[in-house]
Chain A
Amino acid sequence: MSVIAPNFKLSGFIQSLLDNIFWILLLVVLVGVPAIFMILFVIPLPVIDGELLTPFLAFSALVNPTRLLPIIHAFLTTDIFRVMAFPGFGFAALLAASVIFVERKMMAKIQLRVGPFYCGKVEGILQLMGDGLKLISKEIIIPAKADKPIFWAAPVLFVATAAAFVALIPVAPGWVVADIDLGLLGVFAVIGFFPIITILSAWSANSKYPFIGGIRALFQMVSFEIPLILSLLGVVMLTGTLNLSEISASQSSFPWIIFLPIGAIVFFITMLAELERIPFDLPEAESEIVAGWLTELSGMMYGLVQLGSYLKLYAFAALFVVLFLGGWNGPMIVPAFPEQIITEGIEMGPIVLTIDGLGPLLHETITQEMLNGTLWFVLKTAGVIFFIILPRGVFPRVRVDLLLNLGWTKLIGLCFINIFIALGLLYAGVLGPGGLQ
């Protein structure tokens, strides 16, 4: 006993308990109560048993946890949740992080090595976290002659623009941050921002290699934007809408890739170029211009650009899925939630547990369609991302002149063929009004 507690005194023990209670109460009063107030201020207050939920009533959730369900339900329907968590930034960042891990392991398998292995015990799953910590802890060095405000702003703008791109993607029926009628035009507008941010960052660094890299990025992105936009016109003609949710919904019976394979291929190639991925990673060509327009970025500024570029990768893959692979459509494979749990509760011997707020939650927000749609969307996006990553293990880098030649002649020509196919299908009556579907 003396080993475990050498100087044990009852009075000291009681005092420490009281101390802990004091601090817990203080924190609850100073942090917990204001936090609950603020949450209830933002979300529309739910009605429980015919009684409006007040902040004071919210404390009753401590006694009956099922009372939290209406609060959760109300929170899930807010815009904040959509922007921060599910179809928006959090979901995309989670997918982007897993893309980085999968990319590393996949490259390792292609190149006959093991990849990240030690960090996180299981196949190096925490390597990304370690890298992030390293980037955060590094000093940010800014070139002396750099145009500092713009140089600082560029990485943040890059992530913000990538997040704006993510906001336009419909993940499941009704689950989209910004459901606007001109969604596809919005996508083009957002894509048009990336070269501007790149050249801002490159030029403001006032250094040679970033400058060359920025100019290359500008060349590449601007010249590939035209085939990018043209390749999507076929889909727009056939669906007659620019709303991404409606385009997604229009593919309930078959995806557009069946009718417009050329458009899909052209879009995929331009996507690789817009994402600066091998074989089109000229703006970051290591052996020629060090790291291209990322050369002078250090520490978390570099980390932000990497985060932005992987968010962009997810967004482009998701756009491919929405436009050509049918978005969230797919066979219903998620099983339905047993209804008698909602209506009758769970029988556990003599006790019957009824959960009050479960019905609205499962019928209005986390529905079977939503889960199924998200599952299919994630599966298809993962497939597209696999094919985006794959060229990195197989191809070397192309040269600027070959790249521009490809973009301006071959891809644009293929785009026009694609448009003619779409027009032909439309006028022959195969698709569109009176056709299939």
Chain B
Amino acid sequence: MTTELPTDITSAAIHMDKPSSSWLPPGLALQKVDERIMTLNVGPQHPGSGHMRLIVQIDGDYIVACDPDPGYVHRGEEKMAEYRNYITNVPHLERPVIHDSCNVLYPYVLGVEELLGIEVPERAQYVRVIAAELNRCIYIMYWLAIYGIFLGHSTMFMWPAGDRELLIDLMEKMTGARVTHAHFIPGGVRNDLPPNFEGVCLRQVNYFEKRIKEYAAVFYDNPILISRTQDTGVLSRQDAIRLGTTGSVLRASGVDFDLRKKEPYDVYDELDIHTNVMTAGDAYARSKIPWLDMMESCKIIRQALQKMPKSGSVRVKLKPNPKGKGLDTVYKRVESGRGSLGYYIVSNGKPEPYRLKMSVPSFRNLIALPYLLKGEKLGNMPSVYWSLNYWPVEADR
């Protein structure tokens, strides 16, 4: 498969191919009818789409063009953030990805701390790292479950969905909530760890790691899976960089890029992190990298539990309604379960942010989809689509 990159990224969408004076939303624009081409609206009510629509044009079994049409779950998170102060923004900013709620809050919290000029206690930084890594695993398990059912592997749907509970129980012990934790706040974390958490955490994480290694036998080493996903949707190293993909998609294409290592935040620079990189760039590599990342997360959690100060404060006392210092901007990004997730926050000295912009990895990875699906078979659509580590709600914000 060849990926021909147009010079202008917006011309990738098929409705833009023919310039027309009256622009219509995607799918509604009149198109020249070709007898051989059939247009399929995959989504938003389709078991293989998620909260979005893929306008797929097929010629027989081959995909001629694919136009992703996100935006069905847009909630205006960025605008909402302008009407709430820095603390009350915390619970709603984690809504785009509730399965990865610690990581989606992480850059916001880091940015606000820089704006307010707060130093976070060391124990709180370690607690954040543990929570973020646990949450990454929870997210990847959910993603993996959907990847399994997209390929028709129902066991791979049930196993991760069940094993996820191990870590969800841990997060419930730590934060009090199963998925929407709202645990990270500017100045540290909301609560200290419960007593005896370290022992329970170590036990659950060890069992979890043993369990996910069993997935290789049923899923990753499965000959049918390999024959289906290998050499499909190949994203070369150059294309991956030029399209701006991030996270597991970028690492599967052979780019050694992990923000935990390249731009360490909190105490990640004190931990020994190995970045998983595969060079194939196909759907198989993209599906395997998150699984390897989970094992890496387990190692990071064990290190953090060992190095964490056994006692101390986990939270800096903030003034009520904290304000930024005059006109100030900050950009912070972290490595979330899907890739680099950043917040650009503009403060004008008031208790609310003047402007808040989320740069989400899902949307950046989605841009690669039309190039990857062009010329592929229809049967490859679910595997390529979901291997991009895309979360529709996050892309819409």
Contacts and interface: CB of A to CB of B under 8 A. Distances in A.
A282 B151 CA distance: 11
A150 B366 CA distance: 42
Contacts of A209: 40
Contacts of A401: 61, 377, 379
Interface in A100-149: 107, 110-113
Interface stretch (B154-162, B248-256, B316-324): B154-162
Contacts of B330: none
Interface in B120-175: 148-159, 162
Given A287-B152, A397-B152, A399-B380, A113 B158 contact: yes
Contacts of A289: 378
A290 B158 contact: no
Interface string A297-334: 00000000000000000000000000000000000000
- B contact patch SS: helix
B156 to A, nearest CB: 8
Given A278-B152, A396-B224, A288 B162 contact: no
A394 B218 contact: yes
Contact of B152 (A113, A285, A290): A285
B377 A286 contact: no
Contacts of B48: 286-288, 290
A396 B153 contact: yes
A55 interface: no
Contact of A402 (B38, B155, B227): B227
17 contacts: A112-B158, A113-B158, A278-B152, A281-B152, A282-B379, A285-B379, A286-B47, A287-B150, A287-B151, A289-B378, A290-B46, A392-B154, A395-B153, A397-B152, A397-B153, A399-B227, A399-B380
A422 B218 CA distance: 36
A350 B311 CA distance: 91
A395 B224 contact: yes
A399 B377 contact: yes
A345 interface: no
A285 to B, nearest CB: 6
A235 B218 CA distance: 35
Chain A CB count within 10 A is highest, among B154, B157, B380, for B154
A80 interface: no
- Give the top 8 A-B pairs by smallest Cβ distance, nearest first: A397-B152, A287-B48, A111-B158, A396-B153, A287-B382, A396-B151, A399-B379, A287-B150
A393 B150 contact: no
Most interface-central of A110, A111, A287, A398 (chain B CB within 10 A)? A287
Nearest to A108: B158
Interface of A (DSSP majority class): helix
A398 B149 contact: no
B154 A393 contact: yes
A396 B158 CA distance: 13
A279 interface: yes
Contacts of A266: none
A400 B46 contact: no
A208 B40 contact: yes
B228 A288 contact: no
Interface in B10-69: 38, 40, 46-48, 61
A107 B379 CA distance: 25
A290 B227 CA distance: 23
For the side of the interface on A, what is the size category?
A: 20 to 34
A288 B382 contact: yes
Nearest to B232: A399
Contact of A111 (B47, B155, B381): B155
A285 B227 CA distance: 17
Interface string B190-225: 000000000000000000000000000011001011
B48 to A, nearest CB: 3
A212 interface: yes
A105 to B, nearest CB: 14
A149 B234 CA distance: 46
Nearest to A291: B47
A290 B219 CA distance: 23
B358 to A, nearest CB: 28
Nearest to A401: B377
A288 B158 contact: no
Contacts of A111: 154-155, 157-159, 162
Interface string A268-291: 000000000011011001111110
Contacts of A288: 48, 378-379, 381-382
A410 to B, nearest CB: 13
Interface in A378-413: 392-402
Contacts of B159: 111-112
A290 B154 contact: no
A398 B228 contact: yes
A392 B151 CA distance: 12
Contacts of B228: 396-399, 402
A113 B48 CA distance: 24
B162 A112 contact: yes
Contact of B47 (A107, A279, A287, A395): A287
B321 to A, nearest CB: 48
A111 to B, nearest CB: 4
B163 to A, nearest CB: 9
Nearest to A285: B152
B204 to A, nearest CB: 16
A236 to B, nearest CB: 32
